[in-house]
């Protein structure tokens, strides 16, 4: 049973990379965010924009499911005060996963 090799540094690095996109005025709408999450394509989108080399392919599959769950289980405005850019919401997701690591495995998918 393959488990995500959770390491805080993976989420710290991802958060830094996403934050750099925000600094460069990159924008991800919430409509696109939710659409990508629902299709389990959000981590794939992330991988096209930032370095995700710390993650192997199985970890990326697990994170697709985690991103979908995060999108469905949290409220960007109520819980994080984020309303304008879903990239900032993704940075918050990194903070959440540092505090509460994902526990999903490939067999859970």
Structure confidence at residue 107 as a pLDDT band (50, 70, 90):
confident
Q: What is the DSSP string of 42-106?
A: HHHHHHHHS--TTS-HHHHHHHHHHHHHHHHH--HHHHH---S-HHHHHHHHHHHHHHS----BG
Please give the pLDDT value at position 5. 66
- pLDDT over threshold 60, residue 1: no
What is the pTM (predicted TM-score) of this model? 0.86
CB 105 within 8 Å of CB 3: yes
Please give the pLDDT value at position 2. 46
Distance CA 56, CA 4 (A): 9
Please give the pLDDT value at position 26. 97
Task: Give the whole-number percent of the chain exceeding pLDDT 90.
Answer: 65
- pLDDT over threshold 60, residue 51: yes
pLDDT tens figures, 52-98: 988 888 888 989 999 999 999 999 999 989 999 999 999 999 999 99
**Residue-averaged pLDDT of the chain:** 90
Please give the pLDDT value at position 17. 96
* Number of neighbours of residue 93 by Cβ within 10 angstroms: 24
């Amino acid at each position: 049973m393959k488990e995500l090799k959770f390491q805080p540094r993976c989420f710290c690095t991802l958060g830094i990379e996403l934050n750099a996109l925000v600094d460069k005025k990159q924008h991800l709408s919430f409509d696109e965010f939710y659409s990508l999450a629902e299709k389990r394509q959000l981590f794939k989108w992330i991988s096209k924009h930032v370095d995700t080399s710390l993650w192997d392919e199985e970890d990326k599959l697990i994170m697709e499911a985690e991103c979908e769950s995060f999108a469905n289980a949290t409220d960007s405005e109520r819980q994080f005060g984020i309303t304008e850019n879903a990239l900032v919401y993704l940075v918050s997701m990194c903070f959440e996963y540092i505090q509460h690591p994902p526990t999903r495995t490939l067999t859970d998918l």
